[in-house]
Amino acid sequence: MEQLTQLILIFVSTVLINNFVLSRFLGICPFLGVSKQVETAFSMGLATTFVMTLTAASTWLINTFILEALNLPFLQYVSFIIVIASLVQFVEMFIKKSSPVLYKALGIFLPLITTNCAILGLALLIPLNGYNFIESVIFGFGAGVGFTMAISLMAGLRETLEFGDVPDALKGVPITLIIAGIMAMAFMGFSGLISV
């Protein structure tokens, strides 16, 4: 029972309080790049969530059974990047086969998940936080859900803004950055919710 509470706490805190995009400022590139349409933004979020969950699981295994067992913690970066790159390749092939439309919509941002710092950040945070296997998977899944939520919210706002009366000087990137800042501040409100 206590473990279940712990898992829920980890999930909620990753999604809301320590949201990867809005409070850790990781993964800003796709957050700004693919957030023009809710549909593609959501798909991007799903792809990222998928990669994050798998990354969390595989990096925990590699870290525990290879790196820690052989006392090679300095190889974390190298091995994590290999795993992430392969996973993204795999997801790309999978999406290309299963949904060519989605593949086209995601475009260059799909291979760019590889260089999405949120994913490497996640992989590096797992050993730092000392999570066990299940906790890591929940942590990875939560991070993905948090990312999906942030990017979808952003896309929704930007879609509405398309018809808004934005001053010329703020059109495009500037107003997007301002929104991102306000969203981040709003999410700070969650920080008193629970403490892990």
Partner 1 sequence: MEAVYIYSVLSMGGLGALLAAGLGFAAKTFKVERDERIDKIEELLAGANCGACGYAGCSSFAEAVVNGEAEPNGCPVSGDEAAVKIAKILGVETSSSEKKLARVLCSGGVKETTRDLEYRGIESCKAAKLVNGGEKSCQYGCLGLGDCEDACPFSAIKINDNGLPEVDDEKCTGCGECVNACPQNIITLAPESSQTHINCSSHDPGKDVRKICEPGCIGCGLCVKTCPVDAIILENNLAVIDYEKCINCGLCAEKCPTGSINFTGKRIKEIKITEDCVGCTLCAKKCPVDAIEGELKKIHEIDEEKCIKCGLCYETCKVDAIMLVYED
* Residues making contact with partner 1 (CB under 8 A): 62, 66-67, 70-72, 75, 78-79, 82-83, 86, 89-90, 93-94, 96-97, 100
Q: How far is the CB of 66 from partner 1 (least distance, A)?
A: 5
Task: Judge residue 142's burial from the number of C-beta atoms within 10 Å of its C-beta, 0-12 exposed, 13-18 middle, 19 or more buried.
Answer: buried
Q: Which residue, 66 or 170, has its beta carbon nearer to partner 1?
A: 66
Judged by beta carbon, residue 19 or residue 136, the one nearer partner 1 is: 136
Q: Cβ of residue 140: shortest distance to partner 1, in angstroms? A: 18
* Closest CB 69 distance from partner 1, rounded Å: 9
Separation CA 33–CA 134 (nearest Å): 32
- CA of 174: how far to CAs of 32, 81, 87, 128, 169, in Å? 11, 32, 33, 35, 8
Alpha-carbon distance of 63 to 58, in angstroms, equals 8
Do residues 130 and 95 touch, judged by C-beta distance below 8 A?
no
Task: State the CB neighbour count (10 A cutoff) for residue 163.
Answer: 7
Please, what is the Cα angle at 81 between 79 and 85, to 5 degrees? 120
Nearest approach, Cβ of 70 to partner 1 (angstroms)? 4
Which residues, other chains included, contact 155 with Cβ-Cβ below 8 Å and sequence gap of 6+?
Answer: 34, 35, 36, 37, 38, 40, 41, 42
**C-beta of 66 vs 193, nearer to partner 1:** 66
Nearer to partner 1 among residue 94 and residue 133 (C-beta): 94
User: What's the min distance (Å) between Cβ of 42 and partner 1?
Assistant: 23
Name which of 107 and 181 has its Cβ closer to partner 1. Answer: 107
